Copies of this chain bind each other. A is one copy, B any other.
Amino acid sequence: MDSQQSTNYLIHLECADCGATVSAETIQHLCPACGGILLARYDLARIQAEVPRERIASRLWSDGLWRYAELLPLDDPADPMEHVTLGEGATPLLALPWLSAELGVDAWLKDEGLNPTGSFKARGAAVGVTRAKRLGARTIALPTAGNAGAAWAAYGARAGLPVVVAMPRDAPALTQREVSLYGARLHLVDGLISDAGKWIAQGVQAEGWYDASTFKEPYRLEGKKTMGYELAEQFGWRPPDVILYPTGGGVGLIGFWKAFQEMAALGWLAEGAKPPRLVVVQAAGCAPVVRAWEAQAEATEFWQGAQTVAAGLRVPGPLAGRLILRVLRETQGTALAIEDDDLRRALGELGRHGLWVCPEGAALLPAVRRLRNEGWLREGERVVLLNTGSGLVYPDVESLNE
């Protein structure tokens, strides 16, 4: 496409640390100047002038997260042929009347389990694979603690691009099988996601693979941020007071922050609306962000001996640790850790209310109770539990009955 005729609103990538800008028209990974995380920047003033939020609202659910096309890294937001899609996004928001009554708040659950491959990872993979294909990537490679591998393998297969996935040998057996079913190359490592990452880095170096590791490409984040746009739209463009987010690599958390920043700049939020306070929820057996937050540190430290049944939270050294902590400060958020037994109990309790969530999502129930009991969450506030995946993805994690 002739770039002069482009309706593309993506202008460049900007380093979250040093502010350097680089082209979005070629393959980029981390900031070439300082190694920081690159964020996609759009011409928000032009979008504000040209795209009323009502245009978004008039689009059919079938477009899923592509309903927000102008805020996504596309050459032509109006061309659906550009999307690599399996029907991701447009997930439900469920009222939790029993929890609202118990805590005296207005509690909701956004259910990301209703995505292709059963988790919110589909959002990042859909946009990430779409952009990687457009930029000429030939083989996509990533390490994963579980779900992301299944998602990228599925979208790679849909796009006709080879995918290489490395994961810990103790990652869920179902996910391992799923990655193979999608025809991706699966490599198992004895160790954690960080060890899988080292193996991928070697292949990136030696084979020229496209590195799709968390935050080592800027577009997974763009997919995840659509959760924020959807939440705003579902609540009539008035953000909730608080969002609880089970945090491994932190892409969704940073996605919410970025989405609400963009919507504020676009003037899409309701009169007087404030961005939500974001809450990091981690497993007590792997809580690098919580430890750093409590120590008022600027960066996370590698968590030794990470252990939890919630595979998606087994991320001992998140690359975005520094940015996650900044997001918590900027949004007046907080961070807390939950014991595995408590999340397994919550899994059973949510089941008896008709909700089979993933273990990561289950951790949010004890977390919201603790925040309310401590008074951090105030009476009458609207709070969203962001359930990242379906219980179907984790058939081996047993719930504990109370």
Chain A residues proximal to chain B, CB less than 8 Å: 57-58, 60-62, 64, 85-87, 90-94, 111, 114-118, 154-159, 174, 177-178, 181-183, 233-234, 348, 351-356, 390-393, 395, 399
Contact = CB atoms under 8 A, between A and B. Distances in A.
Given A86-B92, A86-B94, A158-B354, 10 more contacts: A58-B58, A61-B90, A87-B94, A157-B351, A157-B352, A157-B354, A178-B356, A178-B391, A181-B399, A395-B395
A111 B86 CA distance: 9
Copies of the chain in the assembly = 2
A352 B183 contact: yes
A354 B61 contact: no
A124 to B, nearest CB: 15
A115 B356 CA distance: 12
The 4 closest A-B pairs by CB, nearest first: A87-B92, A61-B61, A158-B354, A157-B354
A174 B58 CA distance: 39
Contacts of A62: 92-93, 234
Contacts of A157: 351-354
A238 to B, nearest CB: 14
A64 to B, nearest CB: 6
A114 B92 contact: no
Nearest to A67: B61
B86 A174 contact: no
Pick the most buried of A94, A116, A155: most chain B CB atoms within 10 A of its CB.
A116
Nearest to A64: B92
Given A87-B91, A92-B86, A348-B181, A155 B354 contact: yes
A194 to B, nearest CB: 27
Pick the most buried of A64, A174, A395: most chain B CB atoms within 10 A of its CB.
A395
Contacts of A61: 60-61, 90
A38 to B, nearest CB: 27
Contacts of A174: 392, 395
Contact of A356 (B92, B93, B181, B352): B181
A153 to B, nearest CB: 8
A60 B351 contact: no
Contacts of A114: 87, 114-116
Contact of A352 (B116, B118, B182): B182
Nearest to A84: B354
Given A234-B60, A390-B118, A392-B393, A111 B87 contact: yes
Pick the most buried of A158, A177, A392: most chain B CB atoms within 10 A of its CB.
A392
A60 B233 contact: yes
Nearest to A80: B95
Pick the most buried of A85, A86, A115: most chain B CB atoms within 10 A of its CB.
A86
Contacts of A155: 354
Nearest to A157: B354
B182 A356 contact: yes
Contacts of A154: 354-356
Contact of A392 (B91, B92, B390): B390
